[in-house]
């Protein structure tokens, strides 16, 4: 259902002036859902995703991530700065050579996210977009299919 349709339903329900608890609960839900998110809240959600990604890379690689440390090989770029959202240096970059763009939003505009990720690629890295929203159980990754195949077959033949 579109936001415009939800707004129409909300306006109709408010006009009923009902005492029905279920109707009042629906009105409260729609009011909360239709209330735009504040810019600072949106940025904080994005930064939390970046920190989560850093922590997961750390756990998978065994390379420590120290939140807020300038000495860490895995870092989350502060909001509003140009470049990839996750900064990987030294051994962290060697084991995970990706330029990472994080997006935490309810409606993803995939093509602009991909263009941003491509624009921030460094060295010979592959780019990837990590996307999360409130309805997903865990974040998703978008990357070029050729980069996925390269990684898949590198791992598959390394195990043999």
Q: Does the pLDDT at position 102 exceed 70? A: yes
User: Which of residues 59 and 155 earns the better pLDDT score?
Assistant: 59
Q: Does the pLDDT at position 24 exceed 80? A: no
What pLDDT does 41 receive? Answer: 62
Q: How confident is the model at residue 25 (pLDDT cuts 50, 70, 90)?
A: confident
Q: Do residues 153 and 126 both lie within one domain?
A: yes
Q: Does the pLDDT at position 140 exceed 60? A: yes
Q: Do residues 26 and 68 both lie within one domain?
A: no
Q: Do residues 121 and 53 both lie within one domain?
A: yes
- Average pLDDT (73-94) is 91
Q: Do residues 76 and 24 both lie within one domain?
A: no
Q: Do residues 123 and 148 both lie within one domain?
A: yes
What pLDDT does 109 receive? Answer: 92
Q: Do residues 11 and 59 both lie within one domain?
A: no
Report CA 33 to chain centroid distance, whole Å.
20
Q: How confident is the model at residue 22 (pLDDT cuts 50, 70, 90)?
A: confident
Q: Do residues 80 and 133 both lie within one domain?
A: yes
What pLDDT does 131 receive? Answer: 97
Q: Do residues 10 and 46 both lie within one domain?
A: no
Q: For the chain, how many structural domains are there in total?
A: 2
Using left for φ > 0, alpha for ψ between -120 and 50, and beta otherwise, residue 80 falls in left
Q: Do residues 20 and 43 both lie within one domain?
A: no
Q: Does the pLDDT at position 45 exceed 70? A: yes
Q: Does the pLDDT at position 3 exceed 80? A: no
Q: Do residues 49 and 102 both lie within one domain?
A: yes
Q: What's the whole-model pTM score?
A: 0.72
Mean pLDDT of the chain, nearest integer: 85
How long a stretch of residues is the chain?
Answer: 160
Q: Do residues 8 and 62 both lie within one domain?
A: no
User: Which of residues 31 and 103 earns the better pLDDT score?
Assistant: 103
Q: How confident is the model at residue 39 (pLDDT cuts 50, 70, 90)?
A: low
Q: Do residues 50 and 68 both lie within one domain?
A: yes
Phi and psi, residue 99, nearest 5°: -95, 120
Distance from C-alpha of 80 to C-alpha of 108, rounded to nearest angstrom: 19
Distance from C-alpha of 94 to C-alpha of 90, rounded to nearest angstrom: 6
Which CATH number belongs to the domain containing residue 88 in this structure? 3.40.1350
User: Which of residues 6 and 115 earns the better pLDDT score?
Assistant: 115
What pLDDT does 80 receive? Answer: 74
Domain that holds residue 70: 39-158
Report the sign of the C-alpha dihedral through residues 44, 46, 52, 55, in that order: negative
């Amino acid at each position: 259902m579109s936001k415009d349709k939800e707004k129409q339903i909300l306006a109709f329900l408010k006009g009923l002036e009902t005492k029905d608890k279920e109707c009042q609960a629906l009105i409260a839900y729609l009011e909360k859902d239709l209330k735009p998110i504040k810019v600072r809240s949106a940025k904080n959600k994005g930064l939390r995703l970046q920190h989560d990604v850093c922590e997961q890379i750390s756990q998978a690689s065994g390379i420590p991530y120290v939140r807020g440390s300038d000495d860490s090989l895995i870092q989350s770029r502060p909001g509003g700065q140009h470049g990839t959202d996750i900064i990987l240096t030294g051994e962290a970059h060697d084991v995970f050579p990706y330029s990472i763009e994080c997006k935490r939003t309810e409606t993803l505009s995939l093509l602009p996210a991909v263009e941003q990720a491509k624009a921030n690629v460094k060295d010979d890295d592959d780019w990837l977009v990590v996307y999360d929203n409130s309805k997903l159980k865990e974040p998703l990754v978008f990357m070029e299919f050729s980069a996925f195949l390269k990684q898949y077959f590198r791992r598959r033949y390394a195990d043999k």
